[in-house]
Structure 1
Amino acid sequence: MRPRMAVAALGAVAVVAALGACSKNTGDSGGSSDKAQKQSGGIGTAADSKGPAPAVSGAKKGGTIYLIQEKDFEHLDPARIYVNNAQVFGRLIQRQLTAFVDDPKTGKSTLVGDLATDPGKDISNGKCTSWQFTLKDGLKYQDGSPITAKDVAYNVARSFSPDLADGPHYIQQWLADSIDYNKTYKGPYNGGSDTPPGVKVSGQKITFDFKKPHCDMPYAASWGTTAPVPKAKDTKTKYDLNPFSSGPYKIDTYNRDSKIVLSRNKYWDPNTDPLRHDYPDHFEVDMGADGVQQTNRMISSNGNDAYAIMQNSGGVDATLIKKVQGDASLKPQIRAGYTQFTWYLAINNQRIKDLNIRKALNYGLDKKAYIQALGGSAKADPATTLESPTTAGFKKYDAYPYDPAKAKQLLNGKHPKLVYAYTNTSTGQKYATVVKNNLEKIGFQIVLKPIDGASYYTEIGRKNNKYDLYLAGWGSDWPSGSTIIPPVFDGRTIIPQGNNDYSYFNADDINKRIDEINLMAPDKAAPEWAKLDQEIMTKYAPVVPFYYQKEYTLVGKKVGGCDLGLSSGWPEYTSVYAK
């Protein structure tokens, strides 16, 4: 599957995905004692899908919440959203067939029906090849017109357009039964029907028919692919600038690269919505402040900033972490915990075929030194697995504990010369030097090769690239190893360019096991993905798990109801209020 791009990254553009989990907000200072909350990944019932969402203790209506960020959203068209800040913001103005309801107190996240009366019904007698969703009564857009199943089908159709190819492609590929999902049907802009092949609409029922089993369809339906878009309001590639609201807020003003102001959608019915509230009168997005400025503004919390939420990827700027950790008065404003993203040192298995060299890299990489350069344990913890600790069914293991002596023994007096590619930024150069110095101590010869940040993933995604090592990151699109192991370690997905399998790892036995687990129901599959995670590493060592990314961020002192999302790894707004 196509990877989702993060807002920014630690010295590189990050390839990540959205719906994993992160720990509940504990008010902790972000030290290594932080514990991830494993997302249950449970699928709820029709009863769980009813509104209204439980009231937030102490919340009140009124005021404005300010979102302070450096740049504009890449996209707000629900069909094109694949970045976590836009995904979370989009929940204020868009609804999908399904959604996750998070309980930050217990760390439990439940998939429920959002527009739909339930999380979806498998009407193929357990084969997972036909899924039906029924829309709730009383759903309305910002102008009071009804939301229909036909509108959901239309947005699925438009997501096939080559002009709107930025979002996730799960449902499109499943309907087309092909990675090349729009080879034939290209959506309604290119002469195709308003309802894509494989989708049927009958009244307020919408059915998706697949040629192969896809038991994760209820999860995939939580993406913007299934948000409703009325054809009469569709402005194609310009829909980003004024998406028609189906959520509790609507866009009042949108000045690109400057400001967005939301106000309430008076036609939104909380009795149909199991996860959203509309406590603030307005949300205002103010653009232009970098990570340092955002952090300092949250620390001061003067004026409107007291009601603000910083939007810097990774949160508090690395240069200010010690200052924040050392100020006890800021503790109530801290939101800290694991995200769903695991970063790893990809080893190009086409070029490094010697298993002992790959194992030596695993034993010899000093992860703690690199993490210290990132900003310490507030930003990351050493990784030993392919899955994040937040993944449903996660199992902790460490196949290659740090042992430089063991690494040297495996090299057996050899000094392999390896090319390490990195993003050509000041931080990218800094982190690359840490890796080079570390690996050369155990006997490797490391040649540094800079790549322009804008083309980094394009370059390492070429099958014939000339690099041996490079950093990459990945997280789940929903709480399952099915959106981690197959896209990154199924060698049958390797193509000439645009790869996600950056290690170019391909093993028949692993591919076969992927097929077997993909046929299992999510609850049965979860522990099996974890077992396969360990088998891949212990048997083949195709990558070096590097670090589990953590969020360490601040909110203004008068912001209430804002927790890190168990289903997003980002500060959530659906329960936010102004104190």
Structure 2
Amino acid sequence: MAAPAWRPAGGPRSPVPFPGHRTAAVVSGAALFAGVAGLGAGCGGPDAADASRSGAPTDGGTLRVVGSSDVEHLDPASAESVGARGLDRTFARTLFGTLASNVFAETVPVRPDVAERLPTRANGGISGDALTYTVRLRGDVLWDTAPPRPVTAADFVRGFKRLCNPAAPSAGLGYFTATLRGMDAYCRGYARLGGPGIGAATSGSAADDARAAAALAAYQNAHDIEGIRAADDRTLVFRLVRPASDFLSLLTLGYTAAAPREYDAYVPDGPVFRRHTVSDGPYRITQYRPGTSYLLTRNPAWRPGSDPLRERHVDRIWITLGQDSAEAVQQQLESGSADLAWDQPVPPSALPRLRAAHDPRFAVREAPSTSPYLVFNLRSPNNGHALADRDVRRALAYAVDRSLLVKIVGGPAVARPLHTVIPPGTTGYAPADPFPTPGDSGDPATCRRLLAAAGHPGGLTLRFPFRVNSVHRLIAESLAQDLAGCGVRTVLFPDTGGGFYARTISDPARGAAGHWDIAAPGWTPDWYGANGRSVLLPLLSGRSLGAGSTNYGGYENPQVDALIDRALTATSEARAAELWRRADRIATQDAAILPLLDRAHTVFMSSRVRNARFLPTTAGYDYTRVYLAR
């Protein structure tokens, strides 16, 4: 989930995960693409350039990636941003996944990764009642250990057990407590283990870390999850609470990556863990300097024939962090001193020039998203708990000038105004605008009138943290100016060091203490196709509240939760879509969050990059597919 250039994933974000294990779902994904393709999809970029390149890929060299903030979580169990998803894809593999492609529809279908094949009713992998899934693993996937050893079904079971560890719980946990038998009970028991030295991913000493890691591992090894077991080293059996047509999509999420037994020795996502990741992918993290850089080198245990989704061409991937200026990053890419951007889209100021020149290094890639959106901290005690009042939030909804935000991020070829939580290209989307303003430019007079009627004629003062990379500062300043038009003062403060998602807005205690009132995160769905679950449940479900939740503002509405439950158990995709629409309608009328833009991704590569292939849920090119011109 949603992050991160766009989402914490997505959102759980964002990132970053896909659907379509049945033919119907693949068709659905293609249809969704057709509905959103008008937003500059595939404009320029590697498609045309690659067409002129023939011959075998060249191996070797260093891929240089440059950007701003470190990931909020490196551990695949809790990694939720699009940047973290792109990084984890290089060293952490899941049972199923999706293929990077510059054709959006090709990125939608679920494909085998560590699994030998997609389970179906026809091949016996899915039971007649759709409650049991049997997955057979490939036998040639190896851990980068000394000596290398096979990735087993028990490693995947361990991965699921780590999802609800109290040190760094997964933002995607709700997906699995709602689907896997016994997962909720297992996690409730695990949560009771929290306490000093355990309830945080960092602690004061090596001895504390060791004790906490031992306690966490002891719980995991002493307790089973009813709904997942290793029948043997190469066979996993999943048992569901109820049929879930998107279950294979859930198994593409990076959260579900296999976890080697070595991880039992470390606090999940803690500083020691981050220095000791173990790879079953084409690359391994050789050097990590927090907030500064990553060096990835080839994993000697990986073999091309063992991996249907990735390749491996460059010798090294060097990721340099700490460069918050999108313009500076762009300059490096164009001059050839760097190859790809880590978390920075092309700066809007450069877009007209690149379009006019038909620069083949530039592209606009489609990835429907709610990015950014304005989230209200309903827990905040500031202003007499004003943001907990639905009428106050509805008043503020009229303040926003979306037309200016579109200009800030690059114009209508890059983004369009969004008024629903569910973006186009996502199950349940239906155009609606509960707070219309002329030309999407805001209505400060209506905002002031409604705010006074809600008991705040003198306005409010709102604390507003913002991300420092890309155009987030400009977006925050634009929103602050909009709010000033209806008498609302904002206290803007930069959130540096990659802590925006991990600490500032996802920590319920900080929210309850009033450390922030509004924020502008982004959310990219965790998968596309039949993906209604991947937006409303993580962003607005009252049952997903707690540490690490991506329901940042603490919104709870029993009607929305009930509609989510009904959508998850719907007997047809059409029925599910209608229920998602109804839940969206209630949440948007509540102004639980304020959707702002459906935004495509602007990407650029250096002149020496070849075979750049886009993965929407990572908001970037797949590092494992790239090779370099010599």
TM-score, scaled to structure 2 = 0.72
Map 1:45-444 → 2, pairs under 5 A: 59-64=56-61, 65-105=63-103, 107-108=105-106, 109-120=108-119, 125=127, 129-142=131-144, 143-165=147-169, 168-170=172-174, 173=177, 174=180, 175-177=182-184, 180=188, 182-183=190-191, 189-193=217-221, 196-198=224-226, 199-203=228-232, 204-211=234-241, 214-232=244-262, 235-237=265-267, 238-252=272-286, 257-263=292-298, 265=300, 267-270=302-305, 272-290=306-324, 291-301=326-336, 305=338, 308-311=339-342, 313-318=343-348, 320-322=349-351, 324-325=353-354, 328=357, 330-338=359-367, 340-347=369-376, 351=386, 358-374=393-409, 376-377=411-412, 380-403=415-438, 408=446, 411=449, 416=457, 417-423=459-465, 431-439=475-483, 441=485, 444=486
Answer whether contact 1:67 1:310 (CA < 8 A) is retained: yes
1:446 partnered with 2:451:
no
Match of 1:51 in 2: none
Spell out, residue by residue over 1:412-462, the C-alpha distance to the aligned partner (whole angstroms, 9 max, x if none): 785742343311788877655533443454xx3213244663564147973
Q: Distance in 2 between matches of 1:518 and 1:400?
A: 28
Which residue of the other structure, out of 12, 16, 24, is the alignment partner of 2:13? 16
* 1:477 is aligned to 2:521: no
Task: Answer yes or no: is the 8 Å Cα contact 2:377–2:387 preserved in 1.
Answer: yes
1:33 and 1:397 map into 2 onto residues whose CA distance is: 19
1:223–1:501 Cα change, 3 Å: closer
Distance 1:139 1:66, change over 3 A: same
Secondary structure at the residue paired with 2:190? Answer: coil
Aligned residue for 1:381, secondary structure, equals strand
Q: CA RMSD in A?
A: 4.2
For the 8 Å contact 2:112–2:118, the answer to whether it is kept is yes
Amino acid at match of 1:19: V
Note the C-alpha offset of 1:561: 1.8
1:99 deviates by 0.7
User: For residue 359 of structure 2, what is the amino acid of its counterpart?
Assistant: L
Counterparts of 1:460 and 1:163 in 2: how far apart (Å)? 15
Identity %: 19
1:11-52 deviations in Å (ceiling 9; x for gaps) = xx988320379xx9xxxxxxx963469xxxxxxxxxxxxxxx
Does the alignment pair 1:528 with 2:578?
Answer: yes
- 1:274-293: CA deviations, max 9, x gaps? 31122334433344544333
Displacement after TM superposition at 1:98 (Å): 1.2
- The 3 A distance-change label for structure 1 pair 106 and 17 is closer
SS of structure 1 residue aligned to 2:463: strand
Distance 1:566 1:466 in 2: 32
What stretches of structure 2 of length at least 5 have no aligned partner? 19-28, 30-36, 43-52, 195-214, 379-384
Shift of 1:562: 1.3
The letter for the 1-side match of 2:479 is V
CA contact (8 A) 1:170 1:220 kept: no
Equivalent position SS for 2:371:
strand
Which of the two has greater helix per residue?
A: 2
Could you tell me how far apart the structure 2 residues matched to 1:523 and 1:385 are? 20
Tell me whether 236-245 or 89-98 shows the greater mean CA deviation.
236-245
* 1:310-359, Cα deviation, whole Å (9 max, x unpaired): 21x242245x4357536616343335444534332335677468767655
The aligned residue for residue 565 of structure 2 is 515
Please state which structure has a larger fraction of its residues in strand: 1
CA positional deviation for 1:498: 6.7
- After superposition, give the CA deviation of every residue in 1:438-491 in whole Å (9 maximum; x if it has no partner): 3454xx321324466356414797358598755343332233221221233334
* 3-state SS in 1 of match to 2:191: coil
> CA separation of 1:401/1:336 partners in 2, compared to 1, >3 Å: closer, same or farther?
same
Deviation at 1:516, TM superposition (A): 0.6
2 CA distance for matches of 1:158 and 1:499? 16
Q: Distance in 2 between the 1:205 and 1:408 partners?
A: 60
Is residue 96–residue 115 contact of structure 2 (8 Å, CA) maintained in 1? yes
Aligned length: 537
Q: Is the 8 A contact 2:525 2:535 kept in 1?
A: yes
Where does residue 41 of structure 1 map in the other structure?
none
Q: Decide whether the 8 Å contact of 1:386 with 1:533 is kept in 2.
A: no
Q: Secondary structure at the match of 1:420?
A: strand
What's 1:545 paired with?
595
Alpha-carbon separation, structure 2, partners of 1:360 and 1:160: 38
User: How much does 1:183 deviate?
Assistant: 2.6
